[in-house]
Structure 1
């Protein structure tokens, strides 16, 4: 379980699990999300929410993992652009650690 800071002062936080990060990876939710300027603002958060809503509505099967991600993280009361930026940074770090672990186990 990870904790991300949801505001600049650090008074609010959001809990993120490995399952949430795996869901982000499974559906490539951060692919093509941020514009070329690299700024994460409220419009990027809105775009993510719309993308997830579209995914859920087009799925015929079980979308429990996406719904859990929405309830626990994306639509969390404290989630704003700052929190999304922290989530993206956590995801990048998580991906790097996963790759390092795979590389280390492959060399053994």
Structure 2
């Protein structure tokens, strides 16, 4: 379990699990979310909430993991634009670590 800082002063945090990050990856929730200016503000957070809400209302939204992600992280009372920025940074770090684990060493295959 990891914690992300939810505000600038550091007085609020949100717990994020491995399962939450896997769900973000599974549904590509952060892909194309941020505009070309790279700024994460409240409108970007609202866009994410609208996207997830429409997924939950559709047939594909019957996933308990997606619902858990919403309740625990995205719709958390502490989630603001700063927290979403921290979540994006955590996801990028997590994705990079898992991409390295998925690569196969060519020497191991030839042995």
Give TM-score scaled by structure 2 length: 0.91
Runs of 5+ in structure 2 lacking a partner?
none
Q: Which one has the largest radius of gyration?
A: 2
Q: Once the 2 structures are TM-superposed, how far is the Cα of residue 74 of structure 1 from its aligned partner?
A: 0.3
Look up the SS of the partner of 2:3 in the other structure.
strand
Question: How many pairs align?
Answer: 106
Question: For 1:23-102, what aligned pairs fall within 5 Å after superposition?
Answer: 23-59=23-59, 62-102=62-102
Off by >3 Å, runs of 4+ in structure 1: none
CA distance in 1 between counterparts of 2:17 and 2:59 reads 23
Pick closer, same or farther for the CA change 1:73–1:102 going to 2, 3 Å.
same
CA distance in 2 between counterparts of 1:46 and 1:102 reads 33
Look up the SS of the partner of 2:72 in the other structure.
helix
RMSD: 1.1
CA distance in 2 between counterparts of 1:95 and 1:76 reads 23
Say if 2:56 and 2:62, in contact at 8 Å, map to a contact too: no
CA distance in 2 between counterparts of 1:79 and 1:61 reads 21
